[in-house]
Amino acid sequence: MSDASYLSLEKLTLAYGDTVAVADLDLDIRKGELIALLGPSGCGKTTTMRAIAGLLPVKSGQVRLDGADMTRVPANKRAVGLVFQSYALFPHLSVYENVAFGLKLKGMRGAELDTKVQAGLKSVGLSSFANRKPAELSGGQQQRVALARSMVMEPKVLLLDEPLSNLDARLRLEMRTELQRVQKETGVTMIFVTHDQAEALALADRIVVMKGGAIEQIGTPEDIYNRPVSSFVADFVGFENIFPLEGGKLRTSGGLIELSGEAPSAAGLAWRPRMVTLGTGPFRGTVRGTSFAGDSREYLLDTSLGAIKAEVEAALPAHALGADLLFDLPAGKAALLSKFS
């Protein structure tokens, strides 16, 4: 067995009754990786995570972990930890007791139990909170208790379901750092489910983008962000100017439009707003919307191509609503899409 197949999903098909939610999914995860399952609601990411945890029966295919077939193994025998979106802490138990709960179920007692729990609390920076109840903790602290409770069980894989969605922006940033630190220090294989592309880009070693129960693209954060393979992925990670190519021309709401440069071989092209050249070029548009975003200023243009979003440095002179502007979509800056849907 190689590290590349530490956790393998092989032709995995999952269903709720007669409704297939995931079909023939193949995925190999290396030992020690931090993987994000990314996609909109209903794409199959949480369903896939539930199957890995043993909480959802497999219709067909296999789940293999560390060389063993886990497909029919009960959830409590899989050595898989799970941190729920709601944290699922016991409100009547202290932080110490919450972390100790799973270990006690395994029969651990006395000094061995105390050593384990104290080490778990220390790993997430909560040693001084051992006697508090969950209601006395912030959302970020509760999340860390849930993380410690799973980590003390020494799982082979740790699954996190939308782990940061209940936190405010500042706490999300803190917990990103905390998750990365714990994962790197322990070396646990970690998979987290999210619909937040910024969260996935910031945390993951690799991102698995899912659509309609299938994998649309797998890659590093840099691959996903800079080189989306499809219009779906491009749109999901912030490319707001996306067009199919037909005969070397852009197919737009106004018909086929020639690019200013040589059209590459692709099913479509995508530009982020900041990739649009504003103030010069072969195209013309009218400013219909503008917004100040700190270091940048964003414009929405009405054009013969349809709506175009552009972004420039805020230090540049601002354009008023109704202004008529030249612009370009440089082919050399565009992401090349192999699939357009």
Closest CA to 22 of 59, 53, 52: 59
**What does the pLDDT average to over 61-76?**
94
For the chain, list the domains and their CATH numbers.
3-228 (3.40.50.300), 234-337 (2.40.50.140)
CB 11 within 8 A of CB 24: yes
Percent of the chain scored above 70 by pLDDT? 98
Residue 244: per-residue pLDDT: 95
Amino acid at 314: A
Residue 279: per-residue pLDDT: 92
pLDDT confidence tier of residue 174, bands split at 50, 70 and 90 = confident
**What does the pLDDT average to over 214-243?**
96
pTM of the predicted model as reported, rounded to 2 decimal places:
0.88
Residue 252: per-residue pLDDT: 92
Burial label for 220, CB within 10 Å (0-12, 13-18, 19+), is middle
DSSP state of 339: B
Structure tokens at 153: 């069980």
Distances (CA, A) of 3 to 53, 66, 183, 189: 20, 9, 17, 11
Highest mean pLDDT among 80-84, 262-266, 322-326: 322-326
In this model, does residue 119 exceed pLDDT 80?
yes
Residue 251: per-residue pLDDT: 93
In this model, does residue 223 exceed pLDDT 60?
yes
Query: Does the CA dihedral 229-235-236-238 come out positive or negative?
Result: positive
**What does the pLDDT average to over 198-210?**
94
| Mean pLDDT for all residues in the chain | 91
In this model, does residue 169 exceed pLDDT 60?
yes
Q: What is the DSSP string of 97-148?
A: HHHHHHHHHTT--HHHHHHHHHHHHHHTT-GGGTT--GGGS-HHHHHHHHHH
Residue 2: per-residue pLDDT: 44
Candidate from 79-93, 165-179, 248-262 with smallest mean pLDDT: 165-179
Distances (CA, A) of 47 to 20, 25, 52, 193, 338: 10, 12, 9, 10, 27
Strand partners, 256: 251
**End-to-end CA separation in angstroms for the chain:** 37
Percent of the chain scored above 90 by pLDDT? 70
Q: Which residue has the higher pLDDT, 24 or 341?
A: 24
In this model, does residue 118 exceed pLDDT 70?
yes
Amino acid at 106: K
pLDDT tens across 127-152, in order?
A: 999 999 999 998 888 888 988 898 88
Q: Which residue has the higher pLDDT, 177 or 209?
A: 209
Residue 166: per-residue pLDDT: 67
pLDDT tens across 269-324, in order?
A: 999 999 999 999 999 999 999 999 899 999 999 999 999 999 999 999 999 999 99
**What does the pLDDT average to over 204-229?**
96
CB 181 within 8 A of CB 144: no
